[in-house]
């Protein structure tokens, strides 16, 4: 996105090119428009989450009112939903996934209200901002067309929705990605990158984790407030015929349809790995909405039942009634105050200003080699290119990762080799200007805990070499350091090359 501010940034950078190519069109257009009116991408990324959250909250409130006309239930559902949204970075990131909850809620609201044009407009926006969701929405419309309680206009919604989806998704179908093809299931099973503990970890031996709790392959959202678990009591409460449950309208069936549509696409994604990307992308957001509303219904229905059975004529009953209200408030509103994860939006903070300011003063076309986690932050904080980084090492598109993986292995070989020639060769091959290391880079005990552990044989070789003799790069730290800032040391490649020639 920084290229929208300065098109000269990240020249000939495969990482920037790749992520720009896979970003959804509507998402890119919004940030481009923001840059045209003077909103820096970083500033816009801070402004968008509260706006998306507020608008999404309004849709959630009125959707719940349509399902059960009880304002307290609607309010409680928005509280629980917001708690789940602000316990992780999905909304706060202002990336495509931040728009998904809002677009799902808006779509459900317009379907319930039978407003055709706004419904298909939102459907189109789903394709432009988070394409996976449009498939869930289409399956939901399909269920509505054949559901026993279907409405006369259900086929109209489905047909027009399909037409919009074809128009929006057609560019994805006809444009061939320069970074394809997508990795196949058979290839992924053989790759260390998709095994537990790796950057793209997907396959787990534990079936529960694989099918339910994994962030990529699992059905359920990874982090949610405990209050959401109250949704599990809803089937039980129906058996007790609590009065509030009798007010649920026929529109409540849309939650069942959303859940079934999400599961259908979740299973389809598993069946077509990885052509529909990751299965969890089809279920985690929908389930948050479903269980937030269901949990609110349970909690308010229980409160309503308690208050109905407590007469206001006796002090002890009034005390119990007040206690029930206070308990309900603490459980729903006060509960997040006791959580470290609430409002933990996973922003990356760093006070290594000296390092970043130094890099910002260097030419735009420099390239930094590093195997540290800090390499993830350098492009955003400095606008300068890195050769590889843990966060950018996605292995889904073979045309991209087939270029990234050799870089990682070559950097590992060069960084831990005692030979100056190996180090010099890597610098010249990749046109490296700087090399960044940290205090753990040459510690054999810390290497197995880092992201490089997925490259087992290469890591074993590096540890063996470290135990035998110091690498050439480590020996040159005293003479080739450009700047050192809080455990991070930046070495100049020109100095390393000169040392190699001597």
pLDDT of residue 399: 94
- Torsion over CA: 37, 39, 45, 50 (sign): negative
pTM, whole model, 2 decimals? 0.91
**3 state DSSP class of 465:** helix
Burial class for 478, CB neighbours closer than 10 Å (0-12, 13-18, 19+): exposed
pLDDT bracket for residue 175 (50, 70, 90)? confident
Token pair of 108 as six digits: 């459900």
DSSP letter for 448, please: G
pLDDT of residue 23: 94
Q: For 56-101, what is each residue's pLDDT tens digit?
A: 999 999 999 999 999 999 999 999 999 889 888 889 999 999 999 9
Sort strands 434-438 and 481-485 into parallel, antiparallel or unpaired.
unpaired
pLDDT above 90: residue 267: yes
d(CA 218, CA 214): 4
Q: Which residues of 375-399 are buried (b: 16+ CB within 10 A; e: fewer)?
A: bbbbbebbbbbbbbbbebbbbbbbe
**Concatenated DSSP letters for 95-118?**
SGGGGHHHHHHHHHHHHHTT-HHH
184's torsion region: left (phi>0), alpha (psi -120 to 50) or beta?
beta
Which segments of 68-153 does DSSP mark as H helices, in order?
71-85, 100-112, 116-129, 131-146
**Concatenated DSSP letters for 467-479?**
HHS--HHHHTHHH
Give the contacts of 77 (CB within 8 A, at least 6 positions apart): 60, 61, 64, 292, 293, 295, 296, 297
Asked if the 353-501 domain carries CATH number 3.40.50, the reply is yes
d(CA 35, CA 33): 5
pLDDT bracket for residue 22 (50, 70, 90)? very high
Q: For 384-411, what is each residue's pLDDT tens digit?
A: 999 999 999 999 999 999 999 999 999 9
d(CA 432, CA 436): 11
22: nearest Cα among 156, 112, 108, 130? 130
- CB-based contact 252:67 (threshold 8 Å): yes
Strands (DSSP E) contained in 222-364 are none
223: nearest Cα among 99, 92, 35, 327? 92
Mean pLDDT of 349-357: 87
Q: What is the mean pLDDT of the chain?
A: 91
d(CA 456, CA 420): 24
- CB-based contact 168:124 (threshold 8 Å): yes
Q: For 214-243, what is each residue's pLDDT tens digit?
A: 999 999 988 777 788 888 889 888 888 888
Domain boundaries along the sequence of the chain: 40-338, 353-501
Alpha carbon distances (Å) from 331 to 102, 174, 234, 238, 346: 25, 51, 17, 22, 25
pLDDT bracket for residue 502 (50, 70, 90)? very low
pLDDT above 90: residue 451: no
pLDDT of residue 312: 60
Query: 350-359, 427-436, 476-485: lowest mean pLDDT where?
Result: 350-359
pLDDT of residue 227: 83
pLDDT bracket for residue 348 (50, 70, 90)? confident
Which residues on adjacent β-strands are paired with residue 442?
A: none
């Amino acid at each position: 996105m920084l290229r929208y501010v300065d098109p000269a940034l990240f020249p000939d950078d495969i990482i920037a090119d790749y992520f720009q190519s896979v970003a959804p069109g509507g998402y890119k257009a919004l940030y481009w428009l923001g840059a045209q009116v003077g909103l820096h991408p970083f500033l816009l990324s801070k402004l968008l989450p509260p706006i998306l959250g507020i608008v999404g909250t309004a849709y959630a409130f009125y959707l719940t009112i349509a399902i059960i006309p009880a304002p307290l239930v609607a309010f409680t559902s928005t509280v629980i939903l917001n708690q789940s949204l602000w316990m992780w970075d999905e909304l706060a990131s202002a990336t495509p996934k931040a728009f998904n909850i809002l677009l799902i809620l808006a779509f459900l609201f317009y379907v319930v209200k039978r407003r055709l044009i706004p419904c298909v407009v939102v459907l189109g926006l789903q394709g432009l901002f988070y394409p996976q969701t449009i498939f869930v929405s289409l399956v939901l419309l399909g269920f509505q067309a054949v559901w026993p309680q279907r409405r006369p206009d259900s086929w109209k919604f489905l047909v027009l929705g399909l037409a919009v989806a074809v128009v929006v998704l057609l560019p994805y179908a006809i444009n061939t990605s320069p970074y394809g093809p997508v990795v196949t299931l058979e290839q992924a099973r053989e790759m260390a990158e998709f095994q537990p503990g790796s950057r793209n970890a997907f396959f787990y031996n534990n079936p529960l984790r694989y099918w339910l709790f994994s962030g990529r392959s699992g059905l359920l959202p990874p982090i949610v407030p405990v209050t959401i678990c109250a949704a599990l009591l809803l089937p039980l409460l129906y058996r007790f015929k609590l009065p509030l449950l009798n007010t649920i309208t026929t529109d409540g069936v849309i939650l069942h349809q959303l859940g079934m549509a999400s599961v259908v696409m979740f299973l389809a994604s598993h069946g077509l790995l990885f052509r529909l990307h990751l299965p969890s992308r089809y279920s985690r957001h929908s389930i948050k909405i479903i269980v937030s509303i269901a949990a609110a219904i349970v909690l308010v229905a229980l409160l309503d039942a308690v208050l109905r059975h407590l007469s206001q004529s006796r002090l002890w009953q009034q005390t119990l009634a007040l206690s029930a209200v206070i308990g309900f408030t603490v459980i729903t509103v006060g509960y997040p105050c006791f959580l470290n994860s609430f409002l933990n939006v996973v922003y990356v903070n760093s006070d290594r200003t000296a390092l970043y300011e130094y890099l910002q003063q260097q030419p735009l076309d420099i390239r930094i080699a590093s195997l540290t986690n800090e390499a993830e932050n350098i492009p955003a904080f400095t606008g300068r290119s890195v050769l590889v980084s843990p966060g950018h090492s996605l292995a889904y598109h073979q045309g991209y990762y087939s270029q990234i993986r050799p870089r990682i292995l070559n950097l590992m070989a060069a960084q831990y080799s005692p030979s100056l020639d190996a180090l010099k060769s890597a610098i010249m091959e990749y046109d490296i200007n700087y090399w960044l290391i940290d205090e753990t880079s040459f510690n054999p005990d810390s290497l197995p805990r880092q992201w490089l552990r997925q490259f087992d044989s290469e890591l074993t070789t590096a540890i063996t070499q470290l135990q035998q003799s110091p690498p050439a790069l480590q020996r040159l730290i005293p003479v080739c350091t450009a700047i050192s800032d809080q455990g991070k040391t930046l070495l100049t490649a020109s100095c390393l090359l000169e040392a190699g020639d001597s």
